Structure 1
Amino acid sequence: MKAMKDNPVTREAENHTFTEIVDQVRRRLLQGAGGATLLSFFASPAAALARSLDDPGTTVSSLLAAFPRSIPTHSHDYVTVMDGYVVRAILPWGDPLLDFSASWRPDASASAEEQARQIGDNHDGMHFFPFGPNVYDQGLLALNHEYTNYEYLFGKEYTEPWTREKAMKAINAHGVSIVHLQRDGQSGWRPVIPSRYNRRITGDTPMVLTGPAAGHPLLRTSADPTGTQVRGTLNNCANGFTPWGTYLTCEENFNGYFGGGSTDPLHQRYGIGKDNGYRWYEVIERFDLRREPNEPNRFGWVVEIDPFDPQSTPKKRTALGRFKHENAAVTIAPDGRVVVYMGDDERYEYLYRFVSHGRYDPGNPAANRDLLDSGDLYVARFTADPTPDGQRFRGQWILLDKERNPLLAAEARLPTQADVLIHARLAGDVVGATKMDRPEWVAIHPHRREVYVTLTNNNRRKASEVDAANPRAENLWGQILRWQENGGDPRVDEFSWDLFVLAGNPLVYPRGDARAGSAAITKDNLFNSPDGLGFDAAGRLWILTDGSYSNAGPYQGMGNNQMLVADPDAGLIRRFLVGPSGCEITGLTWSNDGRTMFVNVQHPGEAEGHPRAPALPAGQDLATYLAAHPTAFSEWPHSQFRELGGGRPRSATLVIERADGAPVFAAR
């Protein structure tokens, strides 16, 4: 199912791509802005420019004092971390959550009903909610489950015969887990079972649609003629959290769950109609587009959950727009309005911003609960126009409002504001938003209003799009972009932007070739496909990757997916962690005392393209082989952490701490 991250391009508009904008910048700088400005834009800051390919990366940085040197890459089936830190794994897929009657079964024979009471599969974004500001040893971990790997989920039977029971097991492996965690001096962090807080929210859990699009005819089905009552949340990728203590889970590649065919161009704009192998529509009517053509419109939203109230109903907030959401980064503007930044994770899609109409009241938590139901949605346009100081370039947030934007007012395919929100991609097309290279996680600097976004990659880049910033017919490595609204006010529509880093491979391509990456990339920290992103309290930027682990060709020397830590001011990057075979490293959060960092390992054991993938018997495909031989490629985490049950690879959450017990980021 990893192919769901590689969906076909569904763009309609001929808007400018970000590559074209960068090429305009390059030509303008070459024509008159001077070499120093050119270097400052297309490379990393001056401290990093002086380093050579052979420099081990020990340039002084006070922010990175606890991380003096990158660890090496590898392609093995275990996790490695920087010296001085210890790691263990908890909460693997299939472990009991609500009670011990639904325990892990190594042969994958657990029923759909049991899966609904177990930890879900393919962990992704998460957030730790302490029980109070001075409570350091207990809290709730809200944890996303993005999708499933059928070759491991069903065991030897794999998919045949295909049944409703199997489809429901897959549905129940999706969604969110709310886990009560407790730390003690002997065993460290562990789940509290039973606990009234523990909860599984699955692809079948009742929830409601709220906000401007709720009740619209496009959201009504035969089972829900009101257009407000939805069953389930799907493809829960990354996340966000609010100052009033709720969790935001984001629905990403929802299109692959629906089948039966569709000729609706507005469906096709989201890739709906092409079956991605889940086959739910064969046995469950609501996923069959021929019977319920509106059901897909009820997915692709940001869902707000109260982790402390297990009886609460999750709410899909339609004011934030419908697209393939990666995460939702929340900040509060100076006047108290709530601002949410979001990326649409597909090639040539857009960056969005939401600004609430209401204001956050820190003294009245109940008054904040529906702030995400009313506000303005914007989409980003990047230009090649320099700022007055010549150090950055200009951009603009374009309002997606049917009444106040003349382009949308004239668009017959979007007759109401609800249609604009349901078909946010089409609205972005109409107003001329900039097409980006898979915008994924967005992170906000904790000490200044500067925002970063990972642009993971774009393997469909045309040869005509080659330029100095992305001088490759395919952007295989990705980059991280940053911007800041004018005056540091996130409500303002004008912003300035530049590139923080271009990933690449200086082992394969010579320095000066953009495929080698910008100057911050050396042989000691090279990586591809930045995906997860987050700041710690001190202002360090953490980068998590979800890219090729072939360790060959353009990816030579990169090994398995990894996590890096960066000083965004000095432009220095260190590799902190390398994951096991076939995984993605994703999701990060911290305990409120700073002593623990939680990081997720998703889909260990996805063997396709890995240098250690098993040799197959003639005529057998990899998934079928692994279903019959589930430990042939990986048995992580059991292979490294023997206390966890094995039998097949399992996603799990890493607990990372300092060996000396000090806060994770303390100087050594």
Structure 2
Amino acid sequence: MSLKPLALFVQHDGASSRASITCQYKCGNACFHEVPNTSEGTYFGDIVADISRRRLFRGSAAAVLAVGAGSLLAACGGDEADAAEANPGTGIGTDFTPIAPNKQDAVVIPEGYEQGVVIRWGDPVLPGAPAFDFANQTAAAQAKQFGFNNDFAALLPIEGRDGSFLLVVNHEYTTEPYMFTGYTPGNPTKEQVEIALAAHGLSVVEVKGENGGGKLSPVMGQYNRRITATTEFTVTGPAAGSAFLKTAADPTGTKVLGTLNNCSGGVTPWGTVLSGEENFNQYFAGVLADPAMQAMGKRYGLGHPGAGQGEMPRRWELFDKRFDVTQEPNESHRFGYVVEVDPWDPAAAPIKHSALGRFKHEAANIYVTADGTVVAYSGDDERFEYMYKFVSSRKIEPGNTAAARKANMGILAQGTLYVAKLTGDHPDKIDGTGKAPSDKGFTGKGQWIPILETGADGKGRSLVDGMSAEEVAVFTRVAGDKAGATKMDRPEDFEANPKTGKVYVALTNNSNRGTEGKAAADEANPRNQNKSGQILELVDDHKGTAFTWSLLLVCGDPQAADTYFAGFDKSKVSPISCPDNLAFDPHGNLWISTDGNALKSNDGLFSVALEGERRGETKQFLTVPIGAETCGPVITADRVLVCVQHPGELDGHSADNPGSHWPDGGTTQPRPSVVAVWKKNGKIGV
């Protein structure tokens, strides 16, 4: 393969291509605010000491894993399949012809493949759901319909029903100007707010495949469920019952209404789905009067002024006081956790696991060691934030039965939480240009620093001086500061390869790296003003505290000097920018979806070979429509699934002036959707 990047990829003069309206509604303009991590060792330690002294508010009112993580599109047969099994990650089975970068208002796929929409925003999920009517939406209808801005997707086979699956999807955020004509930012109606609340959360919907093809169709099945921003959740771990979580509506501090900004996720070997609560801060208005708590809130991006003036255009607090921290100072502490949902029991209350810490979780993904130890990896998606892992002190109960699921859902409530510190092997050769320091590229060592232990009773023990266990669980970022963790370039999806055990992290970008007053480039984050991100590879002692690392990719235009593709010939790779979500196929190849392509092309999905002569070979499989982000990849032997998030979100456009008409065409409004892609005629293989 010989790819020639388009001329528009030569210049590295721009940042992420996200529209400003996407930044505003997806993450509350996080990249336009001061970086929350200003720690230099003692500053936040002083704040924690102050909180500890006063104790503020005290007394106040494997088969399933393989499917969810991704299998293989271009499946192999015979000798080729045997070779792939013996040599995982070598690129076998990814021999599609890569597509060219483009700006089309369509999902563009390789020659020889077909596609179809599985489900769209507003499609019925629960019995009694009406057909979607953009001009006449109601909160009652939306609570029974597929939510907005789908992100993570899992496809779980239903035992005993060939070709039937549970599709579990996150709904990260709402973009109200694209949901309602005539919407006035900062002055919503009560009905619009209630529709938005119902459009958040998760959807569980049965889907049925067709013989001889990869098409999937929704079914009104027994497992179908909508989880929204008003569904009741149970809190586990050291934060449960903490004074930091108690509110007027929940004086016990153990029950939370809703989940917000659910980004990526993961599938557990016991058949449940994990979801990360990410940019939750943007939903809360007001500034706390107490200086210490105000500073702690600022560490999470809370307390920005300008509600109703562009900074916080949703204004949910107008109709629900829990979103006003001056009235409910603890409500924001009830978000920012890893959520666990049992999709096989529509009546089961979802769980928020505080033992895994509170930060802007992109996701949480599970690796099980040979002796049954469960390890969960998670990244904190913000500039200069940290990487974490949780090692359970319990062993997995084998099987996917209801009893095993019930037992295993407690695994993430008992164990040790760690934060990562990295050092490079070539510190004197890192100058911020992104130039590889050796013929082996960027390499180094790392240490997992323990910060919190949680026992079988759910009670915690702090491993950070000056912080209580509940403080570490609720203000985990501060614990990471005090532990001396390494500041990373937006650590997003964080997954272990089920074939090799190597761990991969998508570091999306960080345009503030190396700027005045900010952390300089280091070997794991080697570029100043990093616009296109990188992929980190760890060889981890999963149960232990030591690891080695290298950079697999330093993303961007292959013609640019500051890119690196594991030593692979850069004239034979696809341009890739802003890696976000990761998945693996059964042959151990990596698949990457992108968000905010800084190379002026639409976002897309890429395969990457990890081992052998093809290591670093990066090929673009698809692009999503203009203005959209590629999310939730699932890659199986029969199909690829992607979530197309925020299609048509372009500056200067809205529901009154649509920037896209995907997926339905004509003059229709754009609708976030899940798309399946499969080989023509149902033929699998290369």
Name the counterpart of 2:577.
Answer: 528
Name the counterpart of 2:154.
Answer: 127
* 1:484 to partner: Cα distance: 1.1
Name the counterpart of 1:564.
Answer: 606
Give the aligned length.
577
> Of residues 316, 319, 339 in structure 1, which corresponds to 2:375?
339
Name the counterpart of 1:294.
Answer: 330
1:322-359 deviations in Å (ceiling 9; x for gaps): 00000111011232121000000000000000011111
Name the counterpart of 2:363.
Answer: 327
The more displaced of 269-278 and 298-307 is 269-278
2:185 touches 2:313 (CA, 8 Å); kept in 1? Answer: no
Name the counterpart of 1:164.
Answer: 190
* 1:374 to partner: Cα distance: 1.0
1:316 aligns with 2:364: no
1:276 aligns with 2:312: yes
Q: Distance in 2 between matches of 1:523 and 1:63?
A: 14
Name the counterpart of 1:576.
Answer: 621
Q: Distance in 1 between matches of 2:413 and 2:565?
A: 41
Change (3 A) 1:372 1:477: same
The more displaced of 559-568 and 332-341 is 332-341
Q: Distance in 2 between matches of 1:658 and 1:418?
A: 51
> Of residues 416, 425, 434 in structure 1, which corresponds to 2:486?
434
1:349 touches 1:437 (CA, 8 Å); kept in 2? Answer: yes
1:504 touches 1:517 (CA, 8 Å); kept in 2? Answer: no
1:202 aligns with 2:228: yes
> Of residues 102, 112, 115 in structure 1, which corresponds to 2:130?
102
2:150 touches 2:672 (CA, 8 Å); kept in 1? Answer: yes
Matches within 5 A, 1:117-196: 117-132=144-159, 135-159=161-185, 161-185=187-211, 189-196=215-222
Q: Distance in 2 between matches of 1:431 and 1:603?
A: 37
1:99 touches 1:193 (CA, 8 Å); kept in 2? Answer: no
Q: Which amino acid aligns with 1:75?
A: K
Name the counterpart of 1:91.
Answer: 119
Matches within 5 A, 1:588-599: 588-590=633-635, 594-599=637-642
Q: Distance in 1 between matches of 2:99 and 2:183?
A: 41
1:408 touches 1:427 (CA, 8 Å); kept in 2? Answer: no
2:186 touches 2:314 (CA, 8 Å); kept in 1? Answer: no
1:214 touches 1:227 (CA, 8 Å); kept in 2? Answer: yes
Secondary structure of the residue aligned to 2:197 is helix
Q: Distance in 2 between matches of 1:471 and 1:455?
A: 12
Q: Distance in 2 between matches of 1:410 and 1:482?
A: 31
Q: Which amino acid aligns with 1:546?
A: D
Name the counterpart of 1:111.
Answer: 138
1:56-83 deviations in Å (ceiling 9; x for gaps): xxxxx96245425321111010111112
Name the counterpart of 2:276.
Answer: 250
1:209-251 deviations in Å (ceiling 9; x for gaps): 1122100000000000000011000100000111111111110
Q: Distance in 2 between matches of 1:228 and 1:186?
A: 48
1:360 aligns with 2:396: yes
* 1:468 to partner: Cα distance: 7.9
Name the counterpart of 2:95.
Answer: 67
1:238 touches 1:250 (CA, 8 Å); kept in 2? Answer: yes
* 1:597 to partner: Cα distance: 1.9
* 1:518 to partner: Cα distance: 6.7
Q: Which amino acid aligns with 2:98?
A: S
Q: Which amino acid aligns with 1:479?
A: Q
* 1:524 to partner: Cα distance: 5.1
1:600 aligns with 2:659: no
Q: Which amino acid aligns with 1:352?
A: Y
> Of residues 507, 514, 517 in structure 1, which corresponds to 2:562?
514
1:446 touches 1:538 (CA, 8 Å); kept in 2? Answer: no
* 1:100 to partner: Cα distance: 5.3
Secondary structure of the residue aligned to 1:326 is coil
Secondary structure of the residue aligned to 2:296 is helix
2:187 touches 2:315 (CA, 8 Å); kept in 1? Answer: no
Percent of aligned pairs with the same amino acid: 39
* 1:658 to partner: Cα distance: 1.2
> Of residues 619, 623, 631 in structure 2, which corresponds to 1:586?
631
Q: Which amino acid aligns with 1:596?
A: R
1:577-618 deviations in Å (ceiling 9; x for gaps): 011100000102245xx212211110001113xxxxxxxxxx
Secondary structure of the residue aligned to 2:120 is coil
* 1:192 to partner: Cα distance: 4.3
TM-score by length of 2: 0.79
Q: Which amino acid aligns with 1:474?
A: Q
Q: Distance in 2 between matches of 1:186 and 1:660?
A: 7
Q: Distance in 2 between matches of 1:162 and 1:209?
A: 31
> Of residues 586, 589, 597 in structure 2, which corresponds to 1:540?
589
The more displaced of 570-579 and 356-365 is 356-365
Greater RCO (Cα-Cα under 8 Å, separation 6 or more): 2
Q: Distance in 2 between matches of 1:117 and 1:241?
A: 24
Matches within 5 A, 1:494-505: 494-505=546-557
Q: Distance in 1 between matches of 2:101 and 2:112?
A: 17
* 1:408 to partner: Cα distance: 5.0
1:563 touches 1:577 (CA, 8 Å); kept in 2? Answer: yes
1:386 touches 1:394 (CA, 8 Å); kept in 2? Answer: no
2:363 touches 2:493 (CA, 8 Å); kept in 1? Answer: yes
Q: Which amino acid aligns with 1:356?
A: S
TM-score by length of 1: 0.81
Name the counterpart of 1:662.
Answer: 683
Q: Distance in 1 between matches of 2:303 and 2:37?
A: 15
1:90 touches 1:652 (CA, 8 Å); kept in 2? Answer: yes
* 1:14 to partner: Cα distance: 2.6
Q: Distance in 1 between matches of 2:618 and 2:508?
A: 17
Change (3 A) 1:82 1:419: same
1:369 aligns with 2:421: no
2:357 touches 2:476 (CA, 8 Å); kept in 1? Answer: yes
Unaligned runs of 5+ in 2: 1-20, 43-88, 305-310, 428-438
* 1:261 to partner: Cα distance: 2.2
Q: Distance in 2 between matches of 1:213 and 1:260?
A: 23
Q: Distance in 1 between matches of 2:481 and 2:213?
A: 53
1:438-467 deviations in Å (ceiling 9; x for gaps): 000112112211000010000112247357
Q: Distance in 2 between matches of 1:469 and 1:198?
A: 43
Matches within 5 A, 1:343-422: 343-363=379-399, 365=404, 366-385=406-425, 392-401=443-452, 409-411=464-466, 414=467, 416-422=468-474
Change (3 A) 1:186 1:662: closer
Matches within 5 A, 1:9-20: 9-14=35-40
* 1:188 to partner: Cα distance: 6.0
1:479 aligns with 2:522: no
Q: Distance in 2 between matches of 1:283 and 1:568?
A: 51
Q: Distance in 2 between matches of 1:225 and 1:442?
A: 35
* 1:95 to partner: Cα distance: 1.1
Q: Distance in 2 between matches of 1:131 and 1:406?
A: 40
* 1:661 to partner: Cα distance: 1.4
* 1:97 to partner: Cα distance: 1.2
The more displaced of 120-129 and 178-187 is 178-187
1:483-512 deviations in Å (ceiling 9; x for gaps): 012xxx4101000000001012245x4xxx
Q: Which amino acid aligns with 2:418?
A: Y
Q: Distance in 2 between matches of 1:530 and 1:242?
A: 23
1:15 touches 1:429 (CA, 8 Å); kept in 2? Answer: yes
* 1:126 to partner: Cα distance: 1.4
Q: Distance in 2 between matches of 1:516 and 1:499?
A: 8
Change (3 A) 1:441 1:402: closer
